[in-house]
Amino acid sequence: MSDLPLSVNERKLLHCLLRFYREIGPGATPALKGLDEEAGLERWELSEAVSGLRAKGLIEYWELQPAVRLTPEGLRAVLRLPEEEGA
């Protein structure tokens, strides 16, 4: 995978999902409800970040919960990003 351009909000969401991955494990599938606060995003920013990351193949999305999870490509992408400030 080549390095895809990511928005600030997409980066925030990826870092947030990495925290879930590290705390819970590879099966971590956090619900969207409350994820905006966890990632430090407004609700509309979360929606845009989810759409962008999903289109890039970096997260999986379940409509029924709704919830998201890092894909293997998403995990590799977030591990290449600089660490979040204040994390």
Over 70: is that where the pLDDT of 65 sits? yes
Residue 33 pLDDT exceeds 50: yes
Q: Is 2 a domain residue?
A: no
The answer to whether position 60 is within a domain reads yes
Range of the domain at 22: 8-80
The pTM score is 0.88
Per DSSP, helices labelled H in 25-71 are: 35-39, 43-55
How many structural domains does the chain have? 1
Residue 65 lies in a domain: yes
> Which helix (H) or strand (E) segment is 74 a member of?
helix 72-80
1 pLDDT higher than 50: no
Task: For residue 47, give every residue at least 6 positions away whose Cβ sits within 8 Å of its Cβ, in sequence order, or none.
Answer: none
Residue 72 sits in a domain whose CATH number is 1.10.10.10
Query: Is residue 87 domain-resident?
Result: no
> Region 61-79: what's the mean pLDDT?
93
For residue 17, how far is the Cα from the chain centroid?
5
Per-residue model confidence as pLDDT tens digits over 5-24: 999 999 999 999 999 999 99
